[in-house]
Structure 1
């Protein structure tokens, strides 16, 4: 077996300093979220192991992590495939996000400090740069970091953990929605409004956030319906 240090210089997909299964899982996760592997695509252990120049054992463990995150499923006679969520389940995830994230924001709003808001704005500047560059990989990560920065002051660890798990499942659909609907400008404008309302400690931030998430889910379903029909 080739060591991870050698792989980092030779393999097409470089791996960070993590355990090998975690590194493979993170790399595959990003490839799924960016659409390289699409809904229903098979993931063959032998082929993935060859790509990352490792044995099948760490790939098998990486698959378990991806299955736990809801990104792949194991089908009889097919093995691992990228999950395909029905439209009603996708909308359910966005509705769960809207419910839980608006609750987090309502608890966080009275506790927000100027430093908290400065951090949110710094993340938003990076997110806007990613919008302008159409760097969909950075958009996915920074979108979550921006929203998360508003929820941290709530100090509600369990709710935040649930929301983060849901965001892992919706991340690929958020990225897809932006690409299919060209919704970068709307997202940028709405995020600016969320930040403005939070700076004012305005309770309307909660209802605006909820509407922002539901609208994103509805726009996605329209675009995704057309894509799946095609």
Structure 2
């Protein structure tokens, strides 16, 4: 007698479980529920979500690949802390890679591409207005990605997305503690305006300055925060 195969819908759910777990854990790391340096115990996470250790183990692999956790001897999986100089480096990489993506993308962008971008911008602004912190990083990335997609540079886009994931939690902090949300709104609208105008050079220059200023402001904020914690 042949062994009964699981229904297709059940198989799909089983395969997507590690991704679902990784997404949930990623958000908990980014919103600060899991602190930098905190250990993530597979057994504890598995019990909390009501699953076996196997999908948790796979989710941890995905989180480690995205730079959010790391494996340490005697501690296991730990929420990764990024030193200030490395945060600055990540923004330097963004300032190198994203303008290049935009420069390659803009000549290939169609009305459909711009329509997709225009749909995302109000959603991002609404998230800022509603203090929907969980949506900030996701929608910000989708907005930028929509401007880069026509570059047809899959590997570069994947690298840039990984960098954005690593810096997301710090950007959230910056937006919460400063007037960064309003500045981001103004910058995003100006960037879209320049892109629609077809002035590739100005759009690329503006994007580079936008990223560099955001990185410099963030590092300054984090340095002040660190100094205060040391003095406390």
TM-score normalized by the length of structure 1:
0.88
Residue in structure 2 matched with residue 228 of structure 1 by the alignment: 226
Q: How does 1:1-230 map to 2 (within 5 A)?
A: 19-202=16-199, 203-229=201-227, 230=229
Question: Whole-Å Cα distance in 2 between the matches of residues 75 and 161 of structure 1?
Answer: 26
Unaligned runs of 5+ in 2: 1-12
Of the structure 1 ranges 91-100 and 172-181, higher mean CA displacement relative to structure 2 is found in 172-181
Residue in structure 2 matched with residue 5 of structure 1 by the alignment: none
1:108–1:151: 8 Å Cα contact kept in structure 2? yes
Unaligned runs of 5+ in 1: 1-15
Deviation at 1:131, TM superposition (A): 0.7
Deviation at 1:221, TM superposition (A): 0.9
Larger Rg: 2
Deviation at 1:227, TM superposition (A): 2.5
TM-score normalized by the length of structure 2:
0.88
Deviation at 1:17, TM superposition (A): 7.7
Question: Whole-Å Cα distance in 2 between the matches of residues 18 and 194 of structure 1?
Answer: 39
Deviation at 1:80, TM superposition (A): 1.3
Question: Whole-Å Cα distance in 1 between the matches of residues 75 and 212 of structure 2?
Answer: 34
Of the structure 1 ranges 53-62 and 199-208, higher mean CA displacement relative to structure 2 is found in 53-62
The runs of at least 4 consecutive aligned structure 1 residues that moved more than 6 Å come to none
Q: Tell me the secondary structure at the aligned position of residue 80 of structure 1.
A: strand
Of the structure 1 ranges 53-62 and 86-95, higher mean CA displacement relative to structure 2 is found in 53-62
RMSD (Å), alpha carbons: 1.5
Of the structure 1 ranges 128-137 and 217-226, higher mean CA displacement relative to structure 2 is found in 217-226
Of the structure 1 ranges 142-151 and 117-126, higher mean CA displacement relative to structure 2 is found in 117-126
Deviations 1:148-190, CA, capped at 9 Å, x for gaps: 0000111122221221122221222222221122310000000
Deviation at 1:200, TM superposition (A): 0.3
Question: Whole-Å Cα distance in 1 between the matches of residues 167 and 14 of structure 2?
Answer: 26
Deviations 1:130-150, CA, capped at 9 Å, x for gaps: 111111111110000000000
